[in-house]
Amino acid sequence: MGKTLIILKPDAIQRRLLGKLISRFEEKGFQIIGLKMIQISDALARKHYAIHEGKDFFEPLIRYMTSSPVIVMILKGKNVVEIARKMMGFAFGSKAEAGTIRGDYAVSNRFNLIHGSDSPASAEKEISIFFKKEELFEYNPTDLQWIYDMSTGDIV
Distance separating the N- and C-terminal Cα atoms of the chain = 11
What pLDDT score does 53 carry?
Answer: 92
Specify the pTM: 0.91
Distance CA 70, CA 15 (A): 12
Q: Which residue positions in the chain have pLDDT lower than 70?
A: 150, 155-156
**pLDDT attached to residue 42:** 97
**Domain at 2-147, CATH homologous superfamily:** Nucleoside diphosphate kinase-like domain (3.30.70.141)
Q: What is the pLDDT of residue 24?
A: 97
pLDDT number for residue 145: 82
CA pair distance 39, 120, nearest whole angstrom? 25
State the DSSP H helix or E strand holding residue 71, giving kind and residue range, or none if neither.
strand 70-77
* Active-site amino acid positions: 115
CB atoms within 10 A of CB 46: 18
Q: How many angstroms from the chain centroid is the CA of residue 117? A: 7
What integer pLDDT is reported at residue 156 of this predicted model?
Answer: 62
Polymer length in residues for the chain:
156
- Structure confidence at residue 142 (pLDDT): 86
What is the C-alpha to C-alpha distance for residues 117 and 82, in angstroms, rounded to an integer? 9
Amino acid occupying residue 51: I
Distance CA 147, CA 12 (A): 27
